[in-house]
Amino acid sequence: MLIEHLKSLYNNNKETTLFGRYITTDHLLPLLEKFKTHFKISQIASSVNKAPIYSIQLGQGEKKVLLWSQMHGNESTTTKALFDLLNGFANKSGLLSSIFQNCTLLIIPILNPDGAKAYTRFNANEIDLNRDAQDLSQPESLALRNAFESFKPDFCFNLHGQRTIFGAGSTNKSATVSFLAPSQDEDLTVTVNRKIAMEIICSMNDFLQYQIPNQVGIYDDAFNINCVGDTFQHFGIPTILFEAGHYDNDYQREITREFIFQSYIVALSYIANNNIDGSLHAAYFDIPLNQKNFYDIIIKKACIDTSKKQISDIGILYKEELIDGKIEFIPRIEKISNLQDFYGHKLIDANMATVETVNSKPIFEGYENDFVLLNHEYLSLKPK
């Protein structure tokens, strides 16, 4: 599958009404209305706050794939890419014909509409739905489990987004896309269905390496039966976790969005056109494990105490806050220490100059502001 073809497919089908990090059910309603003539659209449940939870079904094939996104309401990149994919199917792209003929897809584009509206990981009861797979205490959890049991998928795609703190391995490469074939028991046994999931992940990794070399990682596979992916894997269904991560200066996740879109097509095409038995899974173990080794900004060699001439590094992470319907990135100083084992998406060399608050006070962990003073001059910390 040529990269140029997938890039063209993306450019021709990108859903331009969806942009940035804040995606809610209200953004999707006009699109669902448009798709009614192409796909089966159903309201399958309601959230804690009575917001509708929708499913979209398409395809004619025997191989069934269940996909759900925004289980965590503030993880929207995979949702955007789903609607780019749906546009491709609606426009009858030839590249997608084998998927349509050989697979049936059931897509839940926003499982947690209350969390999406509030831009939070949790649902309206402050429950992490990805820790509710056993208790099934929330209506959103029940909606997914009922869809799983009635649809009886052969494969599951669990679609998420990850923070900017992750690197692909211990190098200075950001984990732009990460995957996982979740464990299904405490011993992390590499079962047949895990091998099948691993083999599909290998097909995506092989493709992505041509575009983002060394920027694909594997997420932590510690077993937790309360997690949905672990539970579905435990049920014997090959399940793949997708994590949309950070690309250089892409805080709106519009570049990562395209790589997720491409990954969907590569994975679904692999499923559609192959009888997968897991025998080609070995390369999965060559993909580096994610490491928490990044800050959004590191200010190197800063003087943080002029009286003691104390020199240190300053690690800054962005807090994402919903303000007037828009996500704002608030710089927060997380760590003042020797950060030689960490990387920054942006590096600033203070060269022993003084770094202070905007009130000319000593800098401190927990300080939140768009600016600091570097050598008594304003330095913006906001992303471009």
CATH superfamily label, 294-380:
Urease, subunit C, domain 1 (2.30.40.10)
Q: Residue 306: what pLDDT?
A: 76
Q: How far apart are CA 219 and CA 130, in angstroms?
A: 15
What are 103's two structure tokens? 């697979």
What are 281's two structure tokens? 């899974």
Q: Residue 2: what pLDDT?
A: 83
For residue 14, give the nearest of 80, 98, 108, 68 by alpha carbon.
80
**Domains of the chain: which residue ranges?**
3-292, 294-380
> Nearest 5°: CA angle at 43, between 17 and 129?
85
Task: Please state the separation of Cα 100 from the chain's center in Å.
Answer: 25
Instruction: Name residues whose C-beta falls within 8 Å of residue 307's C-beta, 6 or more positions apart in sequence.
Output: none
Q: Residue 308: what pLDDT?
A: 74
Amino acid at 79: T
> Nearest 5°: CA angle at 231, between 121 and 76?
30
Within the chain, residue ranges assigned H as helices are 3-13, 25-35, 77-90, 97-102, 113-118, 139-151, 192-208, 228-234, 254-273
Query: Which residues are 322's β-sheet partners?
Result: 327
Instruction: Name residues whose C-beta falls within 8 Å of residue 209's C-beta, 6 or more positions apart in sequence.
Output: 216
Q: Is 130 helix (H, G, I), strand (E, B) or coil?
A: helix
Q: Which fold has domain 3-292?
A: Aminopeptidase (3.40.630)
HSE-CB at 337 with a 13 A cutoff on CA atoms is 8
Q: Residue 1: what pLDDT?
A: 65
For residue 252, give the nearest of 177, 327, 319 by alpha carbon.
327
Strand order in the sheet with 294-305: 326-337, 310-323, 294-305, 343-349
Mean per-residue pLDDT pooled into runs of 10, the chain (384 residues): 91 98 98 97 98 98 98 98 98 94 98 98 98 98 98 98 97 97 96 98 97 96 96 98 98 98 98 98 98 98 87 97 96 98 98 96 97 97 93
- Strands 290-292, 166-168: pairing is antiparallel
Global pTM reads 0.97
Instruction: Name residues whose C-beta falls within 8 Å of residue 228's C-beta, 6 or more positions apart in sequence.
Output: 71, 129, 130, 133, 144, 158
